[in-house]
Structure 1
């Protein structure tokens, strides 16, 4: 296996995992993207430039998540490690439940696919299995790869996913607070066991959500109810809990985006309800926080690579 080029540009979307009841399985691509340029160098050095999110905090050496993903993908296909120059232009917020780490991992793996003379060896399924080894769960990586909405699962072979046919007219809006919540902290508050009736409730709602997304948007409010994680996490993301309560009381299908604290709304004609891209005045102060909004109409494409 060898590289056919020494430069690629990767574009990868933000994602929302869970979508309410589909814990660690359902996910959706959002209308915010990171762009990463990667050069394979003849020397062993690693050079990283970061613009936007994480410019002040992310490492600029082999420990950077994109570099680690490139190394893992190179090992998987048997390509020797090279020096790297990476320019990351980050727009996906960090620590907000929008899949920034999954985007970095997918970007690194996709960069290797783009550099290869035989990119088909890193097809979507292979990319997902590699990404899930980093993430531990596939609900963010799957929509980052396929785009749109996806259902993902794990078995003895690793991670798998299938894209969903989302009906025309279904839109998303993500409300992003100033507050940050590390995924590890959000997972730490979840119990090891849940009551059987809560598990049964979520199975029904997750199945209903697939139907709602595929052509029954009038069922989205009921389909986005959850008893497995959002209630347990309310104590560590009070602003998100307050925003979800505010929106659902007004009939809007609102859920925690991934591990939070961003809030995702899935529905139709969302702009008419004030869910437009920008800083909606009505949201100011809800949960004691300030909020920005990203509204997306139509399906968001998954990761793309340009040579």
Structure 2
């Protein structure tokens, strides 16, 4: 087996009112160097991450699951792992790890998986495509599962900057999902869908001011999750005063994300860092390519 490298971006799911269907690939990455070995070893380049026995490692479990699905024996590998995607912050760390695990099995077992195969496997494991799809394809991806087929539209030419506000606290997706209602009244669902439709149309037209405004009027999840997000109203208000188009919860939170005018991301991030001294405030590029393998 020849050595190979896997690079998977972070992602922001839900993207305003695009609940479980719309996600954006971001310029934070999980990178793996994989070589053949006599035994399984996962080496963390970030010394703050504890060493995990390989059979307990999430990426190994995914790789083994995919290999078993194809009735293949997964050969032992040495995996050197580096990531600047924070865990349990709403930036798609689990989706990045899932895709990495799928790709290790694909390369090590010579499965010949297509992009559609990887999308389907990842969505089955994750439960929804809004992190998996952008992490795989890059850009903003809008997805829907119809009769077990994942239909998607990819938008790669968004003329915006992204600013993220990452608090020190974690928020598990399971806890954030529990607070959501199990069903919605028809009138609310119709109104929420209308908001989502206008956001997509505005993004396609390049009307980011309107898109940002409508993103802040989500009815599917933000009204319920806002109480779980530190400084929710403060961040939205301060970002708006600094010319952000709109500010939303990233994924299930607790990170929040602003779409801002192109070229202004770093300046806005610097000013917001002063407002939020205990946060990591970052100006990020949109990752245009998604997962790459060399």
1:49 is matched with which residue? Answer: 43
Residue 232 of structure 1, aligned match among 187, 205, 224: 224
Please tell me whether the aligned partners of residues 8 and 135 of structure 2 are also in contact (alpha carbons under 8 angstroms): yes
Aligned twin of 1:99: 92
Question: Take 1:244 and 1:93, find their aligned partners in 2: how far apart are those partners?
Answer: 22
**1:203 corresponds to which residue?**
193
- Would you say how many aligned residue pairs link Structure 1 and Structure 2? 291
Q: 1:129 aligns with which of 120, 131, 134?
A: 120
Q: How far 1:237 moved relative to its partner?
A: 1.9
Cα deviation for residue 52 of structure 1 reads 2.8
In structure 2, C-alpha distance between the alignment counterparts of 1:53 and 1:188, rounded to whole Å: 33
- Counterparts of 2:98 and 2:171 in 1: how far apart (Å)? 20
**How many Å apart are 1:216 and its aligned residue?**
1.7
* Structure 1 partner of 2:160: 170
| Partner SS, residue 163 of structure 1 | strand
- 3-state SS of the aligned residue for 1:69? helix
Relative to 1, partners in 2 of residues 1:148 and 1:112: Cα closer, same or farther, differing over 3 Å?
same
Aligned residues of 1:31 and 1:294 also touching (Cα < 8 A): no
| 1:258 matches 2:251 | yes
Does 47-56 or 172-181 show the bigger shift? 47-56
Q: Which residue number corresponds to residue 25 of structure 2?
A: 29
Q: TM-score if structure 1 supplies the norm length?
A: 0.85
Q: Is the 8 A contact 2:67 2:109 kept in 1?
A: no
Conserved 8 A contact 2:75-2:108: no
Q: CA–CA distance in 2 between the matches of 1:271 and 1:59?
A: 41
In structure 2, what is the equivalent of residue 145 of structure 1? 136
Change (3 A) 1:294 1:250: closer
* CA gap 1:166/1:53 in 2 versus in 1, 3 angstroms: farther
- Tell me how far apart the structure 2 counterparts of residues 304 and 63 of structure 1 sit (CA, whole Å): 25
Mapped to 2, the partners of 1:278 and 1:50 lie a distance apart of 33
Give the structure 1 partner of residue 7 of structure 2.
11
Distance (Å, rounded) in 1 between the aligned partners of 2:47 and 2:12: 18
Q: Deviations over 1:90-135 (max 9, x none)?
A: 110001000000000111112333445563xx11111011111221
**Partner residue in 2 for 1:192:** 182
**Residue in structure 2 matched with residue 287 of structure 1 by the alignment:** none
Give the Cα separation in 2 of the matches to 1:54 and 1:72. 28
Unaligned runs of 5+ in 2: none
| Contact 1:171–1:269 (8 Å) recurs in 2 | yes
Partners of 1:298 and 1:99 lie apart in 2 by 14
Quick one: distance in 2 between partners of 1:67 and 1:153? 28
Using the alignment, how far apart are the partners of 2:154 and 2:165 within structure 1? 24
State the Cα deviation string for residues 27-73 of structure 1 (Å, max 9, x = none).
000111111122343x4x321112338713x7332231211221122
- Unpaired runs of at least 5, structure 1: 285-289
Q: Find the aligned partners of 2:98 and 2:162 in 1 and give their Cα distance.
A: 24
Task: Give yes or no for contact 2:265–2:284 (8 Å, CA) kept in 1.
Answer: no
